Amino acid sequence: MAWYRRPEIRIIIVALTTILVITDFFIAVKTYNDFIKQLLVWSVIISGFTIVLGAVNIGVVHGKHIIKKTPGQWYFSLWLIICVIVTFILAAGSEGIPAMKSAYDYLINNIHTPLTSAAYGLIGFYFASCIFRAFRGRNSYVAVFLLSGCLTLLLNAPVTELVPFIPAVGNWVVAVPNVAGTRGIVIGAAVGIIAAGLRNILGLERGGLLAEE
Amino acid sequence: MKRKMIVPGRQFALIFLLVSFAIVYYTIRKAQKGRVPKIRPFPAIEAIPEAVGRCAEMGRPIFAAPGMGEIETAWAAETISGLNVVHYTARHAAKAGVDVISIVVRTPHIPLTQDAIRTAYLIEGTPERYRDDMVRFVPYGMAYDVTIMGVAERERPAASVIVGTYWHPALYTIEAMNAVGAMNIGGTSRTVMTPFFIGGCDYFLMGEEVLAAGAYVSPDPVPKGSFEGQDIIKIVAGILIIIGAIAVTFGSRIIENILRW
Amino acid sequence: MMALSKITTIDRRWIWLVVMIAFAIPIIRPLAIPIKVSEDTRIAFNAIESLPEGSVVMLDVEMWMRYYSELGPTTEAFIYHVLKKNLKLVIWASSPEGAPFAETALRAVNPENMGKKYGVDYVHLGYIAGGEKAMASLMTDIHGTVTTDYYGNNIKDLKIMENVRSSKDIKMIACVMSTQPDDRVRQYSITGGIKWIALTSGGWVPGIKPFVASGHVLTTVGGIRGGAEYELLVGRPGSGLISTDITSVTLLLMVALVIVTNIGYFAERASRRGKK
């Protein structure tokens, strides 16, 4: 195995980066803090590159459909690839070419936004059909959830201000039992992150990379 | 005046972090030496072989996704759990000769999910059945919402296993899968989505169960050992909360001052 | 009982038709249901009101364009309020669609009509990739994180950015978001030392409340209702106020659906027991 593909290299990089960033939160040494600031800026840049992964995956998956002319699919895949390429060209060109910027703005404001808003409107219907199909008091879990769900819905409806007790009860439920429960979940998640951080440092966190199994 | 090296107000946090690390390290080592803690079985996880069997009988694929949270953020623990569940599902699918479909919405998840599924097929002795396009990337947002509806209608999975960090797009997944008669197994610790998982899924996991399930299905003793350590830390945090609440009730802010040290 | 138990077998497309009618009624015939301003929205409003002239307010827009109908009114009212108070506004987007979202809100407010000048009174830094890493980076070094604004101008050439370099120069942050607030609590509240306002969808308010209770988040302005309340407070009635009728009718419909489906479910159970 080539030296740069050895798992020890990956583990050392991950462990070192984790320790450096964690200690920055606690240490007040200007040189060190400035170095970590720079490291964070680098990581922001690297994050941008992961978008390339997504583009490659889309190309591979849909390219296969186009090449094989998968019935009922290949023309949608072709349209998708055309849209991705056109949007990329317009977005990239919008930085320096005013005509491309206005075309990109037109694409976002007059095509993308109305389409996504219309598609998002579906959620209201799916929400309603999910409620109708699933929110039946078939056991205690669902019964508690549907009661608290109804209360939250009523709390958000301005008309219920006309019924005096609904805002009072609803606000109390949100401010007291909800806060208590959510805090428990937040603490649990935070502890999970601490443990994941330690597993990263020790090189025991393989995520989904199970190749060594 | 000598400047403090440790940021004021974070000293207790540093001590708590180091103690937490020590606890988790101890429980991981204990598990690695053979004293693996027992995690209770989850009906949702026990139902996965049943779901795969349903897919095999009906000759339809199974949909399994690791969640929508970025693995480099606070959602890491849930996403890793979701990946473990995807791997577990894929192993059963590989044994039964069922195809897996996975849709990921974060680019770093692509290689991780591909690896989870590929390794499953490799372990079960059917590496030739694996295809890279079993894992499809769709950007988070409406693209995912309409894609999942299309995938459900066209490929008609007979079951879906969605465990991880999920927000409102999970509603589309649950409803779309229900519309084609698929069995739904799901879980998230995101409180805003929990009611939909409980109502819409045939089997569900909620809250901490999502994290525990990932450890439960993993053959590696490390996640199980780590989970035991996390439970100990949560007990310590709970004791601090109770002592703090009692102290504040009697007018003392000692715990609050310690936490802010 | 048999008739009631048939409720559970209603095709979901009939449900969708009822929902469509419920959406349409308040649009065709506005109901003008009065709204009361909640304490949470008032806290947000007062927080901006109390800032001295010239203070810098940062607006972090994470929302996607499809949420514009829900959070657009809140964002517009907030931008209007900040500029009306002669505060400086720095906008950045933490999601790719946050940038056009903010741009759409800015165009709706039209700061130039208020006598404000781009680059002097407000700036739109555009999308900065990296999520929490971008927030962390901005809190410590804005000029190191981003060098050009949304329109391609070098930020060094913009007067407003001369003295805005890190969290120390920012008095208040507002986040247009619809997600867990943990990352912002870590970066804005803890690292940056700034309490911030969450302009969020209604469903996320319960999830952010613990952080309001702990003092990390100043307050929440929730959903379209919060937007309508903010519009009332700043004296700029808009689509938020118009939408409150639709919100009321559809949310009541959802509650009615829960009641109806449970009537059908329990009737079905009773008739099955009766048959046994």
Domain ranges of chain B: 43-217
Q: Contact B20/A194, CB-based, under 8 Å?
A: yes
Element (H, E) at C261: helix C239-275
β-bridge mates for residue C58, sequence order: C90, C173
Instruction: Give residue-wise pLDDT tens across range A178-210.
Output: 888 888 888 888 898 888 889 888 888 765 444
Q: How confident is the model at residue B148 (pLDDT cuts 50, 70, 90)?
A: very high
Name the residue among A45, A26, C110, C201 with its Cα closest to residue B168: C201
User: CB of A185 within 8 A of CB of C181?
Assistant: no
- Both C90 and C146 in a single domain? yes
Name the residue among B112, B106, B61 with its Cα closest to residue B86: B112
Torsion of CA C240, C241, C242, C244, to 10 degrees: 90
Residue listed under structure tokens 């959802």: C254
What is the rounded CA–CA span in Å between residue C141 and residue A69?
51
Which chains border A (3 or more CB–CB pairs < 8 Å)? B, C
Which among A136, A138, A152 has CB closest to C206? A152
Looking at the structure, give the CATH architecture of the domain made up of residues B43-217: 3-Layer(aba) Sandwich (3.40)
pLDDT at A212: 45
Share of chain A above pLDDT 70, in %: 96
pLDDT at A211: 42
Share of chain B above pLDDT 70, in %: 99
Backbone torsion region of residue B251, taken as left when φ is above 0, otherwise alpha when ψ lies between -120 and 50, otherwise beta: left
Q: Distance (Å) from the C-alpha of residue B209 to the closest C-alpha of chain A?
A: 11
- Both C259 and C159 in a single domain? no
Write out chain C's pLDDT in tens, 276 residues.
Answer: 677 777 778 888 888 899 899 888 888 887 777 888 999 999 999 999 999 999 999 999 998 888 888 899 999 999 999 999 999 999 999 988 899 899 999 999 999 999 999 999 999 999 998 788 889 889 988 998 899 999 889 999 999 999 999 999 999 999 999 888 888 998 999 888 898 999 998 888 888 999 999 899 999 999 888 999 999 999 998 888 888 888 888 888 888 888 888 888 888 888 888 776
Asked if residue C242 belongs to a domain, the reply is no
Taking CA atoms, what residue in A is nearest to B28? Answer: A199
User: CB of A26 within 8 A of CB of B10?
Assistant: yes
Q: Is C266 on the interface with A (CB under 8 A)?
A: yes
What is the rounded CA–CA span in Å between residue C126 and residue C95?
9
Name the residue among C118, C186, C180 with its Cα closest to residue C153: C118
Q: Is C183 on the interface with B (CB under 8 A)?
A: yes
**Structure tokens of B156?**
């008609």
- Estimate the share of chain C in helix, then strand, then coil, as percent rounded to the nearest 5: 60, 15, 25
Please count the residues of chain A: 213
Q: Is C133 on the interface with A (CB under 8 A)?
A: yes
Residues of A in contact with B222 (CB under 8 A): 199, 204
Q: Distance (Å) from the C-alpha of residue B141 to the closest C-alpha of chain C?
A: 8
Residue listed under structure tokens 């069995």: B183
Q: Contact B171/A72, CB-based, under 8 Å?
A: no
* pLDDT, average across residues B184-210: 88
pLDDT at B174: 93
- Segment among A18-27, B154-163, C22-31, C230-239 with least mean pLDDT: C22-31
Q: Is A104 strand, coil or helix?
A: helix
- Both C44 and C24 in a single domain? no
C107, burial (CB in 10 Å: exposed 0-12, middle 13-18, buried 19+): exposed
What is the rounded CA–CA span in Å between residue B193 and residue B173?
12
Which chains border C (3 or more CB–CB pairs < 8 Å)? A, B
Q: Contact C131/B73, CB-based, under 8 Å?
A: yes
- Both C260 and C197 in a single domain? no
Name the residue among C213, C219, C180, C56 with its Cα closest to residue C122: C56
> Which parts of C94-222 fold into alpha helices (H)?
98-109, 132-140, 142-145, 182-184, 205-213
Asked if residue A160 has pLDDT above 50, the reply is yes
Residues of A in contact with B233 (CB under 8 A): 191, 194-195
- Both C172 and C122 in a single domain? yes
Q: Contact C209/A127, CB-based, under 8 Å?
A: no
Q: Contact B119/A213, CB-based, under 8 Å?
A: yes
Name the residue among C122, C121, C120, C169 with its Cα closest to residue C141: C169
What is the rounded CA–CA span in Å between residue B74 and residue C44?
27
Asked if residue C12 belongs to a domain, the reply is yes
Round the average pLDDT of chain A to a whole number and report it.
83
Asked if residue C244 belongs to a domain, the reply is no
Asked if residue C20 belongs to a domain, the reply is yes
- Chain Cα centroid distance, residue A29: 33
What CATH number did the domain enclosing C222 receive? 3.40.50
Asked if residue C186 belongs to a domain, the reply is yes
Asked if residue A81 has pLDDT above 90, the reply is yes
pLDDT at A121: 81
User: CB of B165 within 8 A of CB of B82?
Assistant: yes
pLDDT at C118: 96
User: CB of C139 within 8 A of CB of C166?
Assistant: yes
Name the residue among B207, B206, B67, B91 with its Cα closest to residue B144: B67
Q: Contact B190/C97, CB-based, under 8 Å?
A: no
Identify the residue with better confidence: C220 or A28: C220
Q: Contact C248/A44, CB-based, under 8 Å?
A: no
Q: Is B191 on the interface with C (CB under 8 A)?
A: yes
Which among B73, B141, B192 has CB closest to C207? B192
What is the rounded CA–CA span in Å between residue B118 and residue C53?
60
Residues of C in contact with A116 (CB under 8 A): 64-66
List the domain range (segments joined by +) for residue C258: 2-30+249-275
Pairing type for strands B159-163 and B183-188 reads parallel
Q: Is B8 on the interface with C (CB under 8 A)?
A: no
What is the rounded CA–CA span in Å between residue A110 and residue A103?
10
Asked if residue C205 belongs to a domain, the reply is yes
Q: What is the residue type of C20?
A: M
Instruction: Give residue-wise pLDDT tens across range B36-71.
Output: 999 899 999 999 999 999 999 999 999 999 999 888
Residues of B in contact with C131 (CB under 8 A): 70, 72-73
- Both C264 and C230 in a single domain? no
Taking CA atoms, what residue in B is nearest to C193? Answer: B9
* pLDDT, average across residues B104-125: 92
A160, burial (CB in 10 Å: exposed 0-12, middle 13-18, buried 19+): buried
What is the rounded CA–CA span in Å between residue A136 and residue A152?
17
Element (H, E) at A125: helix A113-134
Name the residue among A22, C175, C204, A185 with its Cα closest to residue C184: C175
Q: How confident is the model at residue A169 (pLDDT cuts 50, 70, 90)?
A: confident
Residues of C in contact with B192 (CB under 8 A): 203-204, 206-207
Q: Is C206 on the interface with B (CB under 8 A)?
A: yes
Q: Contact A57/B174, CB-based, under 8 Å?
A: no
User: CB of C143 within 8 A of CB of C196?
Assistant: no
Asked if residue C43 belongs to a domain, the reply is yes
β-bridge mates for residue C126, sequence order: none
Which among A43, A113, A189 has CB closest to C130? A43
Which among B73, B141, B190 has CB closest to C183? B73
Angle between helices C223-234 and C239-275 (to 10 degrees): 150
Asked if residue C243 belongs to a domain, the reply is no
Instruction: Give residue-wise pLDDT tens across range B218-238.
Output: 888 998 999 999 999 999 999
Number of domains comprising chain C: 2
Residues of A in contact with B139 (CB under 8 A): 54
Q: Contact C207/B191, CB-based, under 8 Å?
A: yes
Q: Which residues of chain C from 91 to 150 reach within 8 Å of chain B, CB to CB?
A: 97, 131-132
Name the residue among C215, C216, C214 with its Cα closest to residue C185: C216
DSSP class of residue B63?
A: E
- Both C20 and C81 in a single domain? no
- Both C26 and C123 in a single domain? no
**Structure tokens of C18?**
């009822």
Residue ranges of E strands in C62-102: 88-93
Taking CA atoms, what residue in C is nearest to A186? Answer: C182
For chains A and B, CB pairs below 8 A equal 181
Q: Distance (Å) from the C-alpha of residue A84 to the closest C-alpha of chain C?
A: 15
pTM of the model: 0.83
Q: Distance (Å) from the C-alpha of residue C22 to the closest C-alpha of chain B?
A: 21
Round the average pLDDT of chain B to a whole number and report it.
91
User: CB of A101 within 8 A of CB of A94?
Assistant: yes
- Estimate the share of chain A in helix, then strand, then coil, as percent rounded to the nearest 5: 85, 0, 15
Which among B73, B141, B190 has CB closest to C132? B73
Q: Is A209 strand, coil or helix?
A: coil
* Half-sphere CA count of B213, side-chain side, radius 13 A: 36
* pLDDT, average across residues A91-106: 86
Q: Which residues of chain C from 187 to 206 reach within 8 Å of chain A, CB to CB?
A: 191, 202-203, 205-206
